[in-house]
Amino acid sequence: ELFQKISKTTSSNIPVSEEEIRKVKEENERLRKTNRALIEKLNNFQQKIIQLQLENKNLRENGEGAKEAKEELGRKARELQDMERRLEEQKNALEEKEMELNIQLMKIKEIEKDIIRQKRQITKLEILHEEGQQENERQQEEIAILKEDRYKQQEQIRQLELKQRQGDERLRRLEERLKQIEEAPVNKTKSIKSRDPKFRTTKRLLGQMYNSEIT
If pLDDT is split at 50, 70 and 90, which confidence band does 195 have?
low
Mean pLDDT of 112-133: 88
Q: Give 75-78's long-range contacts (Cβ < 8 A, gap of 24+).
A: 76/52, 77/53
Mean pLDDT of 74-97: 79
Reduced to 3 states (helix: H, G, I; strand: E, B; else coil), residue 64 is: coil
Domain presence at residue 174: no
Q: Would the pLDDT of 2 be above 50?
A: no
pTM listed for this prediction? 0.44
Domain presence at residue 184: no
Domain presence at residue 75: yes
Q: Would the pLDDT of 185 be above 80?
A: no
Q: Residue 112 is part of which domain span?
A: 2-132
Domain presence at residue 152: no
pLDDT value, residue 95: 81
Q: Dump the DSSP string for 109-165.
A: HHHHHHHHHHHHHHHHHHHHHHHHHHHHHHHHHHHHHHHHHHHHHHHHHHHHHHHHH
Q: How many domains does the chain fold into? A: 1
